[in-house]
Every structure is written in C-alpha cells, then in structure tokens.
A and B are shown apart, each in its own frame.
Chain A
Amino acid sequence: MHFSATILRPDELALRDEVRAFLAAELPGDRLPGLGMANDHDPDFSRKLAGRGWVGMAVPSEYGGHSRSAVDRFIVTEELLAAGAPISAHFVADRQTAPTLLSFGTEEQKREFLPRISAGECWFSLGMSEPDAGSDLASVRTSARKVEGGWCVTGTKVWTSGAHLNHYFAVLCRTSPLDGDRHEGLSQLIVDLSTAGVKVSPIPYLNGHHSFNEVVLEDVFVPDSMVLGDVGSGWKQVTSELAYERSGPDRFLSAFTLVQAFVAERAAGRLADDAARVVGQVAADFWAIRQLSLSVARTLDAGGAPAVESALVKDIGTRFEQSVVELVRSVADTEVGPDAGSVFEQLLAEAVLTSPTFTLRGGTTEVLRSIAAKGLTR
C-alpha cells in the first residue's frame, strides 16, 4: 500500500485556473449549490462543460474524448463539486460507463456511445441492485434468455438513479443458469430505457426527491450488439467498475458546499469558538483526505492498480463527509427546515436528509471495510 503527496504540475494548475474561471462565469452567484454528486440535472450545463473538453476526459480522442489523465479528471471534478455545479446529467456516464466501455466494450459500442457521452449528450444509469440483491450483487435474478439476434431480458432493478431522465442503463443479469460458482454466467447488457417492455417508476426519497427508480423489464429485447463486452464477463466488469467509482473527489466533497456556505454566512465578524473549532477540524481533514485521493489518481496515471488504497480512501472519505454534516449542525444553532432561510440553512436540511446515502452508494462501508481488510492482510 502506498500513498504519496503529489505536486500538481504547471499545466495541471493552469487547467484548474481555467475551470475556476469557467465556473465563476457560468454559475450565478445566488444559486443554491448542489451537495456533491447529488445535484441538478442540467443538460445545458453538461453540454457547455463538454464544449470545453471537460466531459469524456478519460476517453481517447479517437472516440470523441480528450485523452486526459486521471489527475486532470480529478482537478476538473473537484472544482465542479466544490462549486456544487449541476453535473448529475452526465456524471455517471462519464465517470463509470465510459471507462467500462473503454475497457470491455466492442469497437462498435465504443464508436456508438463514447462520442455522445463525451459530448455530454448520452446519459446512463446503472442497473445493478434488485429488491433481493444489494451488497450481495452476485445474487441478481434479472435474467436474459437467448433469442434470435439477441436476448430477452426479464427482471426488476431498484434504486436506479436517474432512470427517468437517462437514455440507457447497463443491466447486470444472469445469461447462464446458476451452476456452481455464482460469479459465473453474469453479463452486462446495455438497455435503451425507451424500449418496449421497460417500465420506470419513481421511488421517492424520504424527502420527496425523485432520484431513485424501480425499473421493471418484461421480455425486453436487447440485440447481441448491446451485450457490453463478453457474455459471461459481467462479474469481472462490474467489480472493476465499482473500483473506478471508489475513491475520487466525489467521495469526500459531498458536504463541502455546506461548510463553505456556513463559513461565508457566519464568518462576518468572528466565528464562535465551537464553530471555529469545527471549521478548523474539517478543513484539516478535507486537506489531508484530498491528498490521499489525489495520490490514487496519480498512481492510476502511472499505470498502478491501487485497489486497497481506493477502498481505504472511499471508506475514509464517505465516513468523513457524513460526519461533517453532523459537526456543522452541532454548531449551527438553528432549527433545520427544508424551505426556510439562507443558502446554508437549505443546504443543511438537504444534507441532514441525504447524508445516510454517503456511506451506502457504490458499496456500503461494511463491504468496503471487508475489501480493505483483505487487502491489508495480504
């Protein structure tokens, strides 16, 4: 296991300055910022960002992307998250689907999807969890039977964020019957969410927000050309996919705009001692944890495979960002309500209601810990 504090190069610092200038120009000063990944779906903003070359950064230019490094991607992503920018339309497609397509997709799939993802115009959801399969993802029951020219998929996916807004979802399903090793016989199929037989229904959050959906598939036809990678490679692909989403800035910056708003609103004059202590403590943690995450990006660019480091950083980051919400609340001396008051107070309400998800999405703390522990004892 190896982490190292990395120095950003002049070109990387210049990129950061560009993104900051872009955000200062594009985002109105009085808008309500998002909380990390969970922010507004804004096709216009996604397109503008793509126009600057900041979507599809990891995609090679031959596929419509920009052949940028993981560190460049980190720099852009952290600026967007720190500003609470409305990136949710393209975020999953860019961050997860594109790398999966690059690693495992057919040439046809790469040419079909990558340019459109890089333009910020093709959005993906993830079809993984089911009512009976969450942490135990290998136990998915959605199945596909072979038919002429493709597959016929039947099953139910839940917690499918953005399925009501997105174009496609990558469905993990069983393409061969269970026979011994349950990690065998799983495949990922790219399903057009507007196909006949696909029914998307909202599953409202406890605060009424619509992000989650249930997606029921009833004999949905998926052509052979839309099997992502090889038939039977689903488990391998999905576990590598989960590794990509493990340790980027979206895993520790979810509560940043909350702290920023607190400091901006309360600091006129001087903070009360208890509030100052919280600000100092969380600033130190943001600073340190960011460097662990950046170190992973640098390692990826150097060709490394930082599996343990990624799991560790995601666990550290997500538990940290969750704790930030409670720390800020404890010194805010306010009653939290969703409609009332300032930017800070609105963000606090949103953060309190949604912070449980920080340690659930993309792998729960409990699962991450097992992965990290295995890696540490190796």
Chain B
Amino acid sequence: MSDGVVRWLAPVAVVIGLAVVGVFLWSGLQRDPHLLPSPLIKQPTPTFNLTRLHNPRKFMSQKIFLGHVTLFNVFASWCYACADEQDELMYISRHSHVRIYGLDYKDNRGEAKKWLHRFGNPYRAIAFDATGRVAIDWGVYGTPETFIIDKHGIIRYKQVGAIDAQVWRQILEPLIQRLRVTG
C-alpha cells in the first residue's frame, strides 16, 4: 500500500471502530442491564403436567395453550411486585379476550388462595409449581413474569417484572390483537 493511502486509513478505521462501539453503548443506555433476552421466544412452550392450585386432583399441561392466545403469568403470594400487578391483570381479564392462566411459583397452597382472595383472581386456572422445577424450564428468574403464547403454543413475548397500564397498552394488547387475527 502506498504511504499516502495508509496515512488516513488507520485513523479512519479507528474512528469507524469507535463509532460502532459508541452505537452499542448508546443503545445499551436505553435498556435495563439486568433484563435477559429469553431464548424461548419463537419456541414451543415447555411441556409440563402440574396439579391445579384450587383442586389438587385436577391437572394442567401445555395442551391448555392450544387454540387461543394465552397470557401465562408466573406469580407467588410472597412476591411483592405480583401484588402491584394484580389490578392490571384483573383489568385485562375484564377487557380483553386473551385467556389468562397462572403458574404459582414455589408457593404454599393455603397462602396462595388467601392472596388471590385478597388481591383478585384473574386466572381461568392455575398450575401449582411447588418446587419451581417447571419455572426453571420457562427460564423464570424474577417473578412476576408473563408469557404471551399464540394459538399454536409458541411463545411470542416474555415480560419480566410487573405489568402496568403502559406495558399493556403499548406492548401486550397490540401483540395479542395481532396474534388473534393472524395466528
């Protein structure tokens, strides 16, 4: 390479390199560093077979997700933020066609039933995950967590942390609408 070309090539490469790094750092500022992208998006839901919270002789499996759009919410009576979210879930259960199912995570049956009585029960049915083993299959690391599942049992979105009005209106509601129509 001629000396003239090389003289500006190196500084330009450095500037471009720094610009690329800058773009990554800038976009990172918008995001919570503790939130992990889920590897389950666009995958079929994990398989499971758990007893139901209100009736230990009945079971719930992943087959319950087929044929409709589902909002699958992981909660626990010991989880502070879950109580915050319950109002919003009650609202959703009254104003949306989405089917709400629950996963009661590492909880006590009695405590969970009391909690639902106190904060509201928006769930069509609740699977009782006493050991949390099923939740591990869903990659749960911070309750509450909510999964939006399409009619074919494919996970389309995961929300870590409580759902508020903004999350519902801006993210979940439009997605659920789209999934109902297109499937």
Question: Do A and B originate from a single complex?
Answer: no
Seen from chain A, the residues whose Cβ lies within 8 Å of a Cβ on chain B are none
Seen from chain B, the residues whose Cβ lies within 8 Å of a Cβ on chain A are none
